[in-house]
A and B are shown apart, each in its own frame.
Chain A
């Protein structure tokens, strides 16, 4: 039976359960070590949560295709596969949260950021999400909420692997950083999501950040005034949401759950259409409907396999 993904701000118990599960995955070590993953420095165990950070960085650094790819489409971003790859990643996190929480009914909550984006910049900063009973606020390090780092408590939340200025993985030991509203002052709003919902086709040539269509609109590359939608949320949150290691901030998954909800709403409106199809040329390998999505902690899947997830989960609302 399908689970129902709730709004994080109206289902506070689901958000609290999410935070609890994240901390459990942060303290679960199944065997992989930094030395196995090519992360320089002493060989240390890598937690299940941190494997998601490494997976995201690896996918971002895997060019598709590896050569003759001027706009640098990669295995998870800047091309058609963006919503599908993140749906795959989110579901893997959800299944692992269910496992460590011992609750097969647990469903990832989403952050309806365009609802917050309807308020003034000050109101956006004061959303309940950033309160101590939400996921904590701004800071370097974050000093409120469930993800505060206590150097004297090894089980407290800490950032252990991030990326440097060149995008290389590196080991660190520090608190989570957020700079809410500092790099850009407003979140996307309902006009932005409505425009994305009306955007057709799903994607199209050149299948990059220069394409028109839903995928590029929701990824956030099409606004001449700066980052939009998904990209804008990363930039607005700032801190650890800025580099390729952005899953370090648990809000990453709340953001992408909302992106996934917008994609689901788009498919309800326009049909479960994905482009490019299986006959597209080899230069689009990694982004065609039957190509394998870049996997790390599980067997791979394909965009075709994740188009209809109604047997696994639904959303409590598709009003985006």
Chain B
């Protein structure tokens, strides 16, 4: 970085965003909108054998498709691009967390608005610390959850 460091200006920002925007938009388009189910493939090599496990997810909530990318690790944890720092014990736990984190996306009433609060609540099914104190605190948090 020493010899090549580039000092930004408003003009340079506009120039580079213009250059990169189309490429980035196409990457996003390729990545998103997975409709009609999605398949994850896990592979492993064990004692000279090659293992392939294909898992198909077709997730809906009230009939509405969840189209973000679901990831399944070799340890069996479920992860999701829309909540990139979380791991879940199950796909059900993931979807519960999506409903908690993005309640407006799952409102049954038409004409949802994204102009209000973001709203978040404790996440169902997320891996939590195993200590008793942690569990007690989590239970307390769940019990006192207030929906907005």
A interface SS class? loop
Partner of A297, one of B16, B30, B73, B106: B16
Question: Do A96 and B81 touch (CB < 8 A)?
Answer: no
For residues 15 through 37 of chain A, which have their beta carbon under 8 Å from a beta carbon of chain B? 28, 30-32, 36-37
A169 CB contacts on chain B under 8 angstroms: 28
Assuming the contacts A140-B119, A296-B16, A298-B6, asked whether A38 and B114 have C-beta atoms less than 8 A apart, the reply is no
A95 near B8: Cβ-Cβ < 8 Å: yes
Interface segment among A127-135, A179-187, A193-201, A262-270: the answer is A179-187
Tell yes or no: A202 within 8 A of B by CB: no
Say whether B66 contacts A167, CB under 8 Å.
no
Contacting pair B75 A210 (CB below 8 A):
yes
Known: A165-B82, A226-B128. A185 touches B138 (CB 8 A): yes
User: B3 to nearest A CB, angstroms?
Assistant: 9
Write out the residue numbers on chain A whose beta carbons fall within 8 Å of the beta carbon of B117.
Answer: 140-141, 174-175, 177
Q: Determine the distance from Cα of A133 to Cα of B142 in the docked complex, in whole angstroms.
A: 30
Instruction: Assess the A295–B20 pair: CB atoms within 8 A.
Output: yes
Write the B100-137 contact mask toward A (1 if CB under 8 angstroms, else 0): 01100110000000111111111100111110011001
User: What's the nearest-Cβ distance from chain B to residue A204, in Å?
Assistant: 15
A318 at the interface (CB under 8 A from B): no
Contacts of B5 in A (CB 8 A): 91, 95, 312
CA distance A309 to B1 in the complex (A): 7
Bound complex: CA A305 to CA B12 (Å):
21
A305 near B4 with CB under 8 A, answer yes
Known contacts A61-B81, A95-B7; A72/B69 CB under 8 A = yes
Contact indicator B85/A220 (Cβ below 8 Å): yes
Is B60 interfacial (CB 8 A cutoff)? no
Q: Once the chains bind, are A184 and B129 in contact (CB under 8 Å)?
A: yes
| A48 close to B13 (CB less than 8 A) | yes
Task: Give the CA-CA distance A287 to B31 in the complex, in Å.
Answer: 19
Number of A residues contacting the other chain (C-beta, 8 Å)? Answer: 84
Of A110-118, A232-240, A275-283, the segment with at least 4 beta carbons within 8 Å of chain B is A232-240
Q: Which residues from chain A contact B106 at a C-beta distance below 8 Å?
A: 165
In chain B, residues 1-51, which have Cβ atoms closer than 8 Å to a Cβ of chain A? 1-2, 4-14, 16-18, 20-21, 24-25, 27-33, 40-43
For A183, the chain B residues whose CB sits under 8 A away are 120, 122-123, 126
Chain A residues with Cβ below 8 Å from B91 are none
Residue contact B129 to A299, C-beta cutoff 8 Å: no
Give the nearest-CB partner of A299 in chain B. B6
- Is the CB of A221 closer than 8 A to any CB of chain B? yes
Q: Which of A166, A209, A234, A311 contacts B82 (CB 8 A)?
A: A166
Q: Which residues of A contact B128 (CB under 8 A)?
A: 184, 225-226
Q: CB-CB < 8 A to A167: which residues of B? A: 31-32, 68-69, 81-82
- Are A58 and B83 interface neighbours, CB within 8 A? no
Complex: how many Å from CA A95 to CA B148? 39
A165 touches B68 (CB 8 A): yes
A31:B14 contact, CB within 8 angstroms = yes
Residue on A nearest B75 in the bound complex, by CB? A210
Using Cβ atoms and an 8 Å threshold, which residues of chain A touch B120? Answer: 140, 177, 179, 182-183, 238-239, 242
CB atoms of A164 and B85 under 8 A apart = no
Alpha-carbon distance A221/B71, docked complex (angstroms): 13
Q: Which one, A57, A170, A243, contacts B83 given CB within 8 A?
A: A243
User: Which residues of B are in contact with A by a Cβ distance under 8 Å?
Assistant: 1-2, 4-14, 16-18, 20-21, 24-25, 27-33, 40-43, 66-69, 71, 73-75, 79, 81-87, 98, 101-102, 105-106, 114-123, 126-130, 133-134, 137-138, 141, 148
25 contacts between A and B (CB under 8 A): A38-B24, A38-B29, A51-B13, A61-B28, A71-B71, A162-B114, A165-B102, A166-B33, A167-B81, A174-B117, A177-B118, A182-B120, A182-B141, A184-B126, A232-B85, A235-B86, A238-B120, A240-B118, A243-B82, A243-B101, A246-B84, A297-B17, A298-B8, A306-B1, A311-B1
In the complex, besides A60-B81, A166-B33, 19 extra interface pairs with C-beta distance below 8 angstroms are: A28-B10, A38-B25, A71-B73, A95-B5, A167-B69, A168-B28, A172-B114, A174-B118, A177-B120, A185-B134, A186-B134, A210-B73, A239-B118, A242-B83, A297-B8, A297-B16, A299-B16, A308-B1, A309-B1
